[in-house]
Chains A and B, each alone.
Chain A
């Protein structure tokens, strides 16, 4: 009986606390920090830069796209079409303004080659098995796989053009 009471108290206390002010909410139930403090992260050496932040403009990835050249001016018609495809096929996991299920495509071409981006769209299964960056991304994003949405090359190219407009 006493034990049951003790357990009840233990269980009830956090409940009571959580009914309290909003500021305390985050800390209330736990006294254990599940996330490593951010300062520690900053101290880490270069080699542990997460895959999503890594810059590699040489890697073209694995897939049907071996070489494309981007004209200096963005093709607005193509970009608009790409925006439409992106909305239909990609927004379930990618948001332009934030990291969501997967990374945001904003400024992607400052980190990746255009070929890599298109191969990741068109050939994700092989990419996450063989491409070192794609493999690292899969791990960084908790094993959430890049889904193959069966885009045509033309659609994937349009999505790439749309990415160029995201700044």
Chain B
């Protein structure tokens, strides 16, 4: 019997070997994956990935966390949109995070994550990301993987050329896509030209806590500011923004904003303006914008409305702003690791234009000005041009660098990634994307030190690449090995929302700092219950505060009486666990909000407004132990005019 089994096994393995050989050869013939690709992305069970990738959730408003090279999704961090799973924007503590000058805005369009830097290298402390629609910049703390701050950007509309970080995290920069009247006013749209303005906001980052504050806004001519990147190394202190619609059209933009042969890259010497501002330059302008800060000690956010912002007219700081002519509505604006090359990805141009920082400084020094736009000097195209990559593809959008002298550019229309050499401008390799690639990301891409092992391409369209899911199909990313001369496609993986930009870094930068739990002794929540003996229910008129605790596997109290129809009942729940990965959830029947998901040592609050008399249950929603299903309780709700006394208990009859 054993022998038969053995021989069957041998036979089977031979068959498998043959079949897989066949597959491999036919696949490589068709130009797709080679057999070793699977090994390169295989992360064995229990092993960790080498890189974190923070991929924007696009119109989901969130930020997703992936591992590379496996492409496994670990977490979706709620940023600009409410998330019922984590109670973000639903519980009393995080509702203020989504406050704006327009009131509570529960959604945004999240575009360009960027990791904080120290000395030109990503440091893995924070991720910044822009809300495009109702202009905001968010900060995500990578010790908790939670959104801990959101600042609204006034005088901005379509906050798209954002949120890129300077090389010592001095600033996170946010540029407007739409120009608008500044200050806003009721005026005819056709009077756009010359009257609308575009704001470029320099938001300072506190080096200790990462707190954001708008240092100044540069009020620029009424173009569309599309993307941006900081100078680094030799060009540290400068910031570069692509523009389109230098025609200043306000209607039928696809025709009217594509008239000029060249638009501009705006080069901004922010160090110069910073100095001007530090010496009292600029003017304070009345404004109204929200600054929302989450405090880790109180587990609560507060929203403050700020009432003024410092604006700077570029003409008041001579030598601070120049326009570099760049062909055909450039989209991405990318700076190489040395800081010398500024790539303008002219999306309607057949060629890629690369400017030289050194040549730009020379042109400025020798006053080689070709003209001006609203008083801002325009340099000669030829004087700043470093080189042109001739006809590499159709529709260039974005470029990243591997730190080894190569650049990688995405082409939307021809749907490919093209590798080319800095300095010689020759095309080295090209690989197809499936389909219509937008951004791409090399870990550490926006820094002096990229980790040039992989590039992730993020696609706008997937069509037939995955199992269909009705008319709406998944968004996707593709992983390429770029360690060799030729790129190799390793993996397709689905993504959340539309992935725009992403930011990546070695896992070792983040992993050791990842928080495991919140210490009870550090819990400063005003409604915290730090031990079970302090659990209680307090009535204050029609408002009732329940001070409740959780531990495997009970609530204290778990029986409550004396609640009345029409009460506002706040459940303040403290998770008393002090062990890793033991959150408790809670949900109350009929509560017009989400569950809570409370981390060890944390306090969270939900509001319940009982509308019907009865005895209503609540329970733990996160499977916490073998007795999870026993983790439940009851609240007795009496008529509004009843005299049922307020009582609570655990482990005994309530009377």
Contacts and interface: CB of A to CB of B under 8 A. Distances in A.
Interface in A123-167: 142-145, 147-150
A147 B552 contact: yes
A100 B520 CA distance: 22
A142 B520 contact: no
- Counting chain A CB atoms within 10 Å of each CB, the highest count among B521, B556, B576, B651 belongs to B576
B578 A150 contact: yes
A98 to B, nearest CB: 9
A87 B626 contact: no
A51 interface: no
Interface in A95-119: 100-101
A101 B630 CA distance: 12
Interface in B538-553: 549, 551-553
Interface in A68-114: 87-89, 91-93, 100-101
B4 interface: no
B552 A144 contact: yes
B531 A149 contact: no
B551 A92 contact: yes
A145 B582 CA distance: 12
A123 B426 CA distance: 61
Contacts of A88: 520-521, 530-531
Interface residues of A, number: 16
Interface residues of B, number: 22
B648 to A, nearest CB: 15
A142 B554 CA distance: 13
Contacts of B582: 147
Contact of B579 (A100, A143, A149): A149
A149 B549 CA distance: 15
A10 B627 CA distance: 32
Interface string B534-576: 0000000000000001011110100000000000000000001
Nearest to B627: A144
B28 interface: no
Given A100-B651, A144-B625, A91 B533 contact: yes
B105 interface: no
B577 interface: yes
A145 B651 contact: no
Interface string B501-532: 00000000000000001001100000000111
Given A92-B549, A147-B579, A148-B578, 5 more contacts: A88-B520, A88-B521, A89-B531, A143-B627, A144-B627
17 contacts: A88-B531, A89-B531, A91-B532, A91-B533, A92-B554, A92-B556, A100-B651, A142-B626, A142-B627, A144-B553, A145-B626, A148-B579, A149-B577, A149-B578, A149-B579, A150-B517, A150-B578
Interface of B: 517, 520-521, 530-533, 549, 551-554, 556, 576-579, 582, 625-627, 651
10 A-B pairs with least C-beta separation: A143-B626, A92-B551, A148-B579, A149-B578, A92-B532, A150-B578, A88-B531, A92-B576, A91-B532, A144-B627
